[in-house]
Amino acid sequence: MIAQVLNREFVLQQLEDVRDYLSTAATDDRRRGAEEGPELSPEDAAQALEAAQSALQTEAAASSGQPGFEPPPAERRGEEPAPIDDFSFFSRDATISNLQSALEQYFREQDQVETAPPADDRRGGGDEDVAVTDVSLPDWQPRRDEDNRRVFDKFSTTDPRWVSSLFAEGIRRFKGKHAFPEKPAEPLTIGNQARLVIVGDWGSGIPRARKVADQMRKILDEGLAANREQHAIHLGDVYYSGWEYEYKDRFLACWPVKPDEAARIPSWNLNGNHDMYSGGHAFFDYALKDGRFARQQGSSRFSLRNDHWTILGLDTAFDEHDLHGDQAAWAQGMLEGAPGKGLLLSHHQIFSAYEKKENKLIEKIRPVLATGRVRSWFWGHEHRCVLYNPTENVEYARCIGHGGVPVYMTHKEGDPYAPPSSWEFRDFIQSGLERWALFGFAVLDFDGPQITVRYIDENGKEIRREQLA
């Protein structure tokens, strides 16, 4: 990911340029001129222009970036950390995300990037970890202003027509989303001592996300050596908006299961909101067609079961924070006919200590939870690692969305946990004035009716262990 494209001010400057170009291209038959590049039809231009204008109006009122990650308090007077949008602008707006995807593709195709991290994106210089990204536009480096904001000088895209065409294509896909596969993957019987390696919100491709993949790989190698059945699971979101090149470069190229291990270590991939920001086309028609995800059979939901547990992967993103189609009835039917308890997996949360936004998911799934068959639920979406007290009739509710998106650690270790949470992972690295939360993933080892869960950070350290039964 390019440092400049992760800066909100920079992105909004580009959106203004795209809007200005589209306002002419939507009615100008000479829109292409003599320049080469992707086509831009009047219809696509008009639709993209409407989306750009709406997004600019929305952003003027409030940022669409990651909520709930205010900068940590200044350690010394006059040294306030910059807003997270200066370094890690991961928008929850499909229009903004598609523009970021378009900008990244354009700059890379034009060979305008270099792998040389800005000085203030390292913990302390030297060979230590890059907190956010190691890729930038070398001619437009950031600087800190008097308020410690990370800013760029005015940057004009070399070819706004090209960027606008790519952007318009993304908006067209978002507006005409992929059909929902009505048939779920066939249920798969797994062993009573199987292992699940689960990561959420991992598809950024940045250096620390690749470190997470390396640590997941070590766990898988350990299981291979022990001849243990294993499954690797992603809880959704490939950034910025699930374009094909993003799955190729940020997901499939880094996925810890090797292509020739598809039969031995099945992989599973849930749908996230960022996957749907370009209509889900590349999610269904590219990512899920990779041989490592063959057991999923092109569906965005799946089921695994043994003698004691039924594991259901739900699609909560085809309809944002909701259950499309018959998924609630499907989940209830799968659990009613199975022995033991249920463990659900999804991208979105059913509740949160931080985001109080209403969602349709909980209303649709509540009758299933009322049966008492769902013992545990793991989800992502929020870029945190949080363990919850029993809530909504779920004994073990867990958020593990800390797989690959940089966020601030705003809490100190001794700060109280926000209800209904019982524990939160709060380790961090320091980069300049900012403290960045460590990434991680979860390992679930089944042993009959009991599951041992290990929470592992990006450096391979086990930070917590618990037993689910």
Residue 350, domain CATH? 3.60.21.10
Instruction: List CB contacts of 364: < 8 A, sequence separation 6 or more.
Output: 322, 323, 327, 328
Shared domain for 73 and 146, answered yes or no, is yes
- Give mean pLDDT, residues 85-106: 97
**How far from chain centre, in Å, is Cα 271?**
10
Assess whether 167 and 264 both reside in one domain: no
The pLDDT score that the predictor gives to residue 26 is: 59
- For residues 143 and 243, membership in a common domain is answered with no
Residue 158 pLDDT grade (very low, low, confident, very high; cuts 50, 70, 90): low
User: Both 257 and 341 in a single domain?
Assistant: yes
* Residue 248 sits in the same domain as residue 160: no
One domain, residues 84 and 217: no
Are residue 294 and residue 315 in the same domain, yes or no? yes
Judge whether residue 32 has pLDDT over 60: no
User: Is 342's pLDDT higher than 80?
Assistant: yes
> Distance (Å, rounded) from C-alpha 233 to C-alpha 345?
9
Structure tokens at 438: 């460590």
Give residue 240's domain range. Answer: 188-404+439-468
Please give the average per-residue pLDDT across 50-60, as a whole number.
98
User: Residue 159: which pLDDT band, with cuts at 50, 70 and 90?
Assistant: confident
What pLDDT score was predicted for residue 178? 98
Q: Is 180 within a domain?
A: no
pTM above 0.85, yes or no: yes
Hey, CA dihedral for 410, 425, 235, 227, is it positive or negative? positive
Q: Give the mean pLDDT of the chain.
A: 92
Domains held by the chain: number:
2
The pLDDT tens digits of the residues spanning 304-322 come to 999 999 999 999 999 999 9
Confidence of residue 33 (pLDDT cuts 50, 70, 90): very low
Q: Would 11 be classed as within a structural domain?
A: yes
SS3 call for 394 = strand
Judge if 235 and 106 occupy the same domain.
no
The pLDDT of residue 127? 47
Same-domain pairing of 153 and 204: no
Same domain? 302 vs 346: yes
73 has pLDDT over 90? no
Residue 23 in this model has a pLDDT that exceeds 60: yes
Do 148 and 215 have their domain in common?
A: no
> What local confidence, expressed as pLDDT, does residue 253 receive?
98
Residue 458 lies in a domain: yes
Region 80-104: mean pLDDT is 96
**What confidence score (pLDDT) does residue 318 get?**
98
> Which residues on adjacent β-strands are paired with residue 431?
434
Query: Does the pLDDT of residue 124 top 50, yes or no?
Result: no
Answer whether 181's CB lies under 8 Å from 324's CB: no
The 3-state DSSP class for residue 8 equals helix
Is residue 147 pLDDT above 50, yes or no?
A: yes
Query: What pLDDT digit, counting tens, does each position of 230-280 carry?
Result: 999 999 999 999 999 999 999 999 999 999 999 999 999 999 999 999 999
Residue 423: CB partners within 8 Å, gap ≥ 6? 386, 387, 417, 464
Residue 156's pLDDT band (cuts 50, 70, 90): low
Q: Which of 8-22, 70-84, 365-379, 424-438 has the lowest mean pLDDT?
A: 70-84
**Residue 71 reports pLDDT greater than 90:** no
